[in-house]
Each structure stands twice: as C-alpha cells, then as structure tokens.
Structure 1
Amino acid sequence: MPRPTTPGYFASHWRSLDYFNLYRLTLAAALVFSGLLFSTSDLFRQSANGRFQSYAFAYLMIAALFVLGIRARWPGFQIQLTAHITADIVLFMLMMSTSEQLASGLGLLLAISIASGGLVGSGRLTLLYAAMASIAVLLQHGFSILGGGQGMDSFFQVGLLCAGYFAIGLLAHALTLRALRSERLAQQQAGELALLNRINAVAIENSPDGLLAIRGDGIIRHASPRALALLGITAAAVPGITRLEDCSPELARMSQQMQPGTTFTLNTAAAQLRVRCIPLETPDDSRVLVLEDQSQAEQAAQRLKLAALGRLTANIAHEIRNPLSAISHAAQLLGEETHDTAQIRLTGIIENNARRLDRLVEEVLTLNRRDRLHPVSFDAAALGLLVDELRQTEEIPADAVIIDMPDSLHFQFDSDHLRQIVWNLMRNAWRFSRKQAGSLRIGAQMQGSNMQIEIGDDGPGVASEHQDKLFEPFFTTDAQGTGLGLFLARELAEANHAALSYVPGNGGARFRLALRGGE
C-alpha cells in the first residue's frame, strides 16, 4: 500500500526525516548505555545519575515512537520535524542539568539536531529552532549558576555556543535552499526526459521505417516492431542478449561491411529493404540501421504522381471539352454538306478521334469525382439489368454473355461507379475475346458477408510481363485505347471500399471485384 503524501514535500523529505530519527535512536541508545556504564563515577552530580538514565531512556522511547509517525506520515511533515527538534532541546537540557561536565558536549550535540532540522525541513523554521535552543541553553545555564554549579564567567562560553546555533542554522538554510533548487530542477528534467522518451517510443513504434540499434559486437540494443516485421522475425528480440546474426545473418554480415552513411539493398520474405547505417559515436561502436520498405516508397511516389496528374488532367479536360465539341460539330456539318468520298472519309476520321478524346475527357472527369459516393442497393436482378444494358450499348450479342449469379445476391455500391467499372471490364473483355457464343462470362458469388463479381473472356489473356502494369494510368496495348479504363475502374472500386484485381490463369483474362455484401 503506498504511503500518503504531504502537499509541498517530496518523498525525499520523509526519507531524510527517517534517517535523522535513526541517528536520534542511535544517540539515545548510546546515552542510555553511557548512563549505565558511568553510574558509579563522579561524572554526574550527587544522586543525579538516576535522573540522567531516566531522561536518556525517555529520549530513546520518544525516538522509537516517532518511527511510527514517520511510517504513517501523520501528522504532517513540518509538525513531526518540529516535535523532533523540540524533544531534542527539552531532553538535552534536562540531561545537561545532571552534569556540568556533560553540558558542553550535549550542547554541541544539540547543534547537530539544529543543522539536521534545517537540512531535512528545506530551511523552514531553522532560525526558530536555533532561537529555541539558545533560550533553553541560557535558561539551563542560568539555573546552574543559581544552584551554585558554575560561575558568571561561563556565560561567554554559552554565548559562543548560542552564536554557533544561529550560524549553523543560517548555513543549513542556505545549503537547503540550494539543494532544494537542485532537486526541483532534477525532477523537472526527469519529467521532461520521461516525456521525451515516451515521444520517442511512440514515434519509433509508428514509424513506417524499421529501426535497429546494435552494438559493435552485433548485440541488438533495440529493435522496433516495424523492423522485426520487415525482417520477417516472429520471435521477440531481447535487448542486450539477442544477436543480430541469429535473427538475420545476411543483414549482420552486410552491416559489418558497411561504412557510415552508405546504403545497401536487402531482400527478405516480407519486403525489399533499403538499409542505411547511422553511427552513434559511442565507446562500444553502436550504430542504428534504418530499414526502409522500397515498395512503400514507390507507392508514396506513385500516389504523389497520380495526385499531380489528376489535378493537371482535370484542368486540361475542362479546357479541352468546349473546343472539342466545336470540332466535332464542325466535322458533322462538313460531312452533311459534302458528297466527295475522300472528304467524307476525312470528316469520319475527325469525328472518330473527337469521340475518342471526348471519352478520355469523360474518364478523367469521372476519376476526379470518385469520392462523391451515393451508394444504392443492388441484387441479382438489378445487376443483370445493368449487364444487359451495357451489352446492348457495346452491341454485344446476347448469346455471347453467360451470366451466373445467385438469387440471394445483395450489396451496396454507387450506381454510376459500378456502371463505369462493369462497362470498362465488359468492353475490354469483348475487344480481346473470340467474339462468339459464350465468349464473356460474368459470375457473382457470396462468401459470408462478402461477395465477388468476376468478368472473364476466352481471349489470349494478358502477357505475364504486362500483368504488373495493368492498372497503371495510360498503359495500354491497344492503339485505340486511352490507358485509363482499368486505372479508373480500380480507383472507383477503392472509393467504394472494394478491390479490383486481375486473376491470373489459363483461358483468357479474368478480373475480380471483391466487396462487402449487404444484409
């Protein structure tokens, strides 16, 4: 159970008070033993030895009781400290009254209590303790003179002792204030250091790069979770014990050969990594290895490129649409007014290319509207009507399309986005198919709460060297294509929290749209 705290005082104050009371217990035990040892000597006044032993034993009992108060931390710190000093002053004065020979020595011991009270109590009430001790010493000395034990000339010695109390009190006050400032500064810096450590820990754990700190002998000093994941290490790395070569022998070998500031590439089961070495300039030759996932860097660069490309093409598209409409309209008028075969062919070329540019502009504008979602419910009948409508638009024969989907099909999707995705996939499938009965296969199936829509053809399929570039913008193998169809379809799918992918295999090309189904 934690001990209660006292406002305005640190735990170190209570520890110091505990040590001070331990000194008082030891001193009280020594005084009790001294009283017993010199009970028959002439050290004490006549018949005063018994009183000295009683006072010493009372001092020991009071110090023992103070232990309980310190442990309970009740009453408050300043009250307990004042009670300690007051008990010392009273009992020391009583013991000094039993022997003139011990009076000077006990007076010096009282100076230790005053100094300790000033140091333990952060300099508070130190001068009060010195004044209380001085008054008590003067009163005791005065009663001793009245009793005939000492002469008037001994007041000078007592005055020096009282001046010493005040000097010790002032010195303890100054030293305590300095120590207190140092303690507060240390606690403030400790708090800032702890906060900085927490910030560093959060930054390291959430960094997209992995960080490995290793000593010169290959012992891991720190390994971030991201670094272990990139290296494909499932076991926990124990700092100061685990060796890097036990986790990644290739990385350990290459890191020993690296010069500070250089980089090298490391292939792991999880990723392709770019490794940088940063020396820490410590006696044990420690260094930090920064593991960067190349695929993420490439994806980030791709996203920046696509964002810039999207803004540029959107602006261009808006500027192109009006003059493009004028060109298309002028070509139609020329075609209607002329009967020359060559001119009709030229105007046809103009119209075909104008339509191609208009389709490109429409795809670019659709791409920039992909975040404007208006999801609606689809079932098997609605999806079948959409496929039939797009089949008629592309003039695909009815027997060329085979549709297979369960009656329980149900999902949510933006209708315009789904139309654009299915249209692009069906148009590409028909373009590269054999254009015969059953050339296009459209299927859908439910898998728990998820569902998949697949569109395939019986064409030659996609070459293996082109599969990784299918969804890149402006990549096309068709001279009449824009290269934006599949890229646009994937972007629209992701906007609806779905995933469009190419399914490799034999017997034509097959694309899969995976999404979460509705209830």
Structure 2
Amino acid sequence: MRRPARAGEPRPVATAPPCDANRVTGEGKMLQSRQGQTARHLHLSRTLATRAAPSVTPSDLAWRVIGLLSLYRLLVPLLLLAMQSLAGPDWGLLAARPKLFVSACIAYFTAAVLLVIARRLKWSSLRIVALVNASVDAIAVGLILYASGGIASGLGILLMLPVFALTMLADRRDALLIAAVAALGVLAQQVFTGLAGATPAADYTTAGFVGALVFVVALATWPVANRLRESEALVRRQEIDLANMAQLSQYIVQHLRESILVVDAQDRIRLINESAAQILGDENAYPDALIGEVSPRLLFLLESWRQGSGGNEALPAVDPTFVAADGGRVMRAHFAPLGSSSPAPVLIFLEDTGLIAEQVQQSKLAALGRLSASIAHEIRNPVGAMSHAGQLLAESPHLTEEERRLTQIIRTNADRVSGIIDNVQRLSRRERARLELLSLPAWTEEFHAEFCETMQWPRARLMVSGTPSDVEVRVDPDQLRQIV
C-alpha cells in the first residue's frame, strides 16, 4: 500500500568505507578543492536535515501506529457482532437497543474501512489525521455504549487503546484535545442514556471516572511518545549523514589516482574505483562480484595475506604481484584490514610496478641533478682562478705570439666552462630558457672553430656541410651548445 507523501521530510542522497588518508597525499590541490566543496554540500544537507524536521511529521512510526489502529477498528466491531450472533438476543449488551447496537458496529466497521482507504490520500498534516481518527473513535464507541445501555456495560475500555495510539502521534496540546474528544463522547452518551430512561447515579460517576482515566492515559503516554519521535528524528538525520558520507567516500575513491577496491569477508567486491576496474577488467570487476572470478591470482594473494601475515600489510613469503587484465602491466597488491572483526573487510591498493620504477628513476635523476649542481658550484672557483690568471698572463708585454694564442685559448675555454656551470645550475633551478634569434650557419661556423680549437684538432678533421645560408632559429644558445 502506497504511503502518503511526508511533508518536510528530507530525502537523503542514495549511494563506501573510508580510504587510507596517508595514500591520498599525492592528489593535489584540485582534488582537495573538490573534497572541500563536497564537504560543504554535506554540511549544508546536514543543516537542512536538522532544520527541516518538524516536531510532528507523518513518519514511518506514525503510519505504522495508524495501521495497527486501523486493524484494531476492523476487529472490534467484527468481534462484537460475532459475540452477538453466538449469544443471541438475550445477551446483556443487546438488552437495551439491539438494532442500534448492530447498526453502530456496522457503522464503526465501515468507518474503519474508509479510514484505511483514506491513507492513500496526501495528508498535509499528521494533526488532521489524528483528530479525524479520534473523532471517529469517540462517536462510534459512544454509539456502542449508548446502544448497550450506558457506561455500565464496561465497553468504555474500548477508547483506551485509540487514545493511547493517537496520543503517540500528537504534541502535548493535541494529546489533551484527543483525550477531551474521547471523554466528551463518553459523557455525551451517558447524558443521552439518562434522558432516555432512569439510570443509577453511580453511572455518572463511572462515566466521569472513565473520562478522567482517558486524560491520565493521554498525559502518561505523551512524554514517552515525544522521546520516541525525537529518537526517530535523530535516526533519520543519522541516516542522511551516513548516506552523504557514503556519497563523499565514493566521490573521493573514484577520483583517486591509485587503484582501490574493498573486499568483504565473503571475498565479494563491495567498492571499486574506475582505475582498479580497468586493471582487473571492466567486464568482470563490479560490486558484488567474487574476487576469485575477477582475478584468481589476487584471491590467492588475499588468502595468503590473511593466513600467513597475521594482519600485517606485507607479504614476506609470497611475491605480491600479478599481471593486469590488459597483460601489459605488472601490479603489486597491498592489503589493509578495515575494522577489528574477524574476518574483516580488506582494503586493497593496486600499484603499477612500472610507475614505481619510473618514480625511482625520477628520484635518481633529481639526485643526480643536485649532485651536478653541487659539483658545478665547486668547479666555479678554480675555473675563475684560472681565467683570472690567464688574464694577468695576457697583460705581460714579454709574451710571444704563440703564448698569446695559448692565453686566448685559456680565456675562451674558461668562459665556456663558466657557461656550462651556469647552464647546469640553471637546469637544477629549472629556470626558463633565454630564447634568441640566431643565424644557424654563423653559429655553426663559430661552434666548429671553437670545438676544433678546444680539442686541438685540425679544422679539416671536422667538416660542416648541408647548412643553408639563410636559416634562422629561435633558441637558447647555451642549451643549443649543450645539445650539439
């Protein structure tokens, strides 16, 4: 049976366990920004969930109570009619007004059926539902009491359960109003009974006692019902928070560069991101799939980790690698338990060994760059001293032409070494290239002469050919020299 719409009730966003925070550090500022935005949306939805819940809403508990009360209304008149048919007209309850008694039971049953049908309507307020039900119970039970001869029949007890149930759905003011309607029905039928014939004075006292008992039931029930409503509202808000946290976890896991999946104690995949699905095979890797069907090797590694490592992440006795579904990558599996239960769900990280080797190579290159920069810095001072000594030697008036040529070689190569040192240090600092427009033939001839002079080769030993005379390039001269 379809339930009415629940006014004011927030709807959680539907859709997995949190991941290891230490492995997320490489995701960068963009992912952190997205996480911050999602967290802000979570905070907003949590605030809205807290503020949107009114004091009384047609919740699941309320409709369950109304459903049980409807069943009670259907059973009471049927039981009374069954007792009437079994006991016959001499039954004490029928001695006063037997036809009215039967008619009142039929009317009560009909009203109960109509209230069950009315549950399909979109009730805007639970207060209206409670007051309508209370009015129907007060009128129907009042008619049954009147038909059975008044309060002395003992059927006034039929009002206690409806008052108890409807008070659970109302606030304090409406709880008193429901009790007042029920008490008014009891007193009204007693007045009409007295007008119809002589009744003992004690019946009025009994009617007043029943009316007072109705108020006692309402006042005693309301605090308990209020705590139940608060507990239900708290559970509802927690469900919204959990749903949003699950969505946030799913968002974070799906945007991680690392390949992650969660396997439960029955070796079924509970969570897997797109990267891990590509490694294990998109067609087979999906939630609720058995990990053994997706990757038998990964299942073997998981069982070895569970049995032999005692919960440690390392696999000392087994090579924790397997081949990806595409056959071109070798993956390394890392395991981490989730929770303290045994067996516990397991978080599995899949690392590409090729990427690991590449990272190691990059680290080596970075260290080599720092070492080169350090060596270049140490060489700068001796080269500067040699260049300065060559300049002082060139100022001597007693040098021969051959000696002056040698001092020129010293100065040229010292300048070249200084340029190399500057380039190495600039590369270690990752400075931008200084682009210049160069005539490639002229630069080539200059480099050819300098190189042959440095190597003390005859110029005929190194030939330059195939260079057009009108080629110009925009390049850093120092970097071009290093390349050549």
Find the counterpart in structure 1 of residue 33 from structure 2. none
Where does structure 1 lack aligned partners over 5 or more consecutive residues?
375-381, 404-413, 428-519
* Residue from 330, 338, 355 that aligns with 2:416: 355
- Residues 151, 197 of structure 1: CA spacing in aligned structure 2 closer, same or farther, 3 A cutoff? same
Q: Structure 1, residues 331-357: CA drift from partner, whole Å, max 9, x if none? A: 345335362667964774464144223
CA contact (8 A) 1:267 1:273 kept: yes
State the alpha-carbon separation in 2 of the partners of residues 248 and 275 from structure 1.
Answer: 12
**Residue identity in the other structure for 1:339:** L
Find the counterpart in structure 2 of residue 277 from structure 1. 335
Q: Give me the CA root mean square deviation.
A: 4.4
State the alpha-carbon separation in 2 of the partners of residues 2 and 371 from structure 1.
Answer: 69
**C-alpha displacement of 1:82:** 0.3
CA contact (8 A) 1:211 1:227 kept: yes
**C-alpha displacement of 1:92:** 1.2
Q: Structure 1, residues 249-274: CA drift from partner, whole Å, max 9, x if none? A: 33333433331321454153444444
CA contact (8 A) 2:163 2:179 kept: yes
- Matched residue of 2:285: which SS? coil
CA contact (8 A) 1:331 1:351 kept: no
CA contact (8 A) 1:35 1:52 kept: no
**Residue identity in the other structure for 2:199:** Q
| Residues 1:125 and 2:126 aligned together | no
| Residues 1:60 and 2:109 aligned together | yes
Find the counterpart in structure 2 of residue 157 from structure 1. 206
| Residues 1:237 and 2:285 aligned together | yes
Find the counterpart in structure 1 of residue 23 from structure 2. none
Within 5 Å, give how 1:22-41 maps onto structure 2. 22-31=71-80, 40-41=89-90
**C-alpha displacement of 1:156:** 4.3
- TM-score, normalised to structure 2, is 0.67
**C-alpha displacement of 1:19:** 3.8
**C-alpha displacement of 1:308:** 8.8
Aligned residues: 405
**C-alpha displacement of 1:190:** 1.4
State the alpha-carbon separation in 1 of the partners of residues 381 and 87 from structure 2.
Answer: 120
State the alpha-carbon separation in 2 of the partners of residues 389 and 64 from structure 1.
Answer: 105
- TM-score, normalised to structure 1, is 0.63
Find the counterpart in structure 2 of residue 5 from structure 1. 6
**C-alpha displacement of 1:24:** 2.2
Find the counterpart in structure 2 of residue 197 from structure 1. 246
Larger relative contact order (Cα-Cα within 8 Å, sequence gap ≥ 6): 2
Within 5 Å, give how 1:163-174 maps onto structure 2. 163-174=212-223
The farther-off stretch of 194-203 and 250-259 is 250-259
| Residues 1:179 and 2:242 aligned together | no
State the alpha-carbon separation in 2 of the partners of residues 344 and 63 from structure 1.
Answer: 120
- The percentage of counterpart residues that share the same residue type is 24
Q: Structure 1, residues 231-287: CA drift from partner, whole Å, max 9, x if none? A: x5343225444243x433333334333313214541534444443332344344543
State the alpha-carbon separation in 2 of the partners of residues 415 and 44 from structure 1.
Answer: 113
State the alpha-carbon separation in 2 of the partners of residues 243 and 59 from structure 1.
Answer: 60
Find the counterpart in structure 1 of residue 16 from structure 2. none
Find the counterpart in structure 2 of residue 493 from structure 1. none
State the alpha-carbon separation in 2 of the partners of residues 217 and 70 from structure 1.
Answer: 43
In terms of fraction of residues, the more strand-rich structure is: 1
- Residues 45, 223 of structure 1: CA spacing in aligned structure 2 closer, same or farther, 3 A cutoff? closer
Q: Structure 1, residues 410-433: CA drift from partner, whole Å, max 9, x if none? A: xxxx9547x7776655x1xxxxxx
Where does structure 2 lack aligned partners over 5 or more consecutive residues?
9-53, 449-461
The farther-off stretch of 165-174 and 33-42 is 33-42
* Residue from 440, 447, 456 that aligns with 1:394: 447
**C-alpha displacement of 1:167:** 2.3
**Residue identity in the other structure for 2:341:** T
Q: Structure 1, residues 356-383: CA drift from partner, whole Å, max 9, x if none? A: 2323313543675666999xxxxxxx9x
The farther-off stretch of 45-54 and 170-179 is 45-54
CA contact (8 A) 2:134 2:163 kept: yes
Find the counterpart in structure 1 of residue 187 from structure 2. 138
Within 5 Å, give how 1:102-501 maps onto structure 2. 104-121=153-170, 125-214=174-263, 218-230=267-279, 232-244=280-292, 246-258=293-305, 259=309, 260-261=311-312, 262-263=314-315, 264-268=319-323, 269-280=327-338, 281-284=340-343, 286-297=345-356, 299=358, 328=387, 331-337=390-396, 339=399, 345=406, 348-349=409-410, 351-362=412-423, 364-365=425-426, 368=429, 388=441, 391-392=444-445, 394-395=447-448, 399-400=465-466, 415-416=474-475, 425=483, 427=484
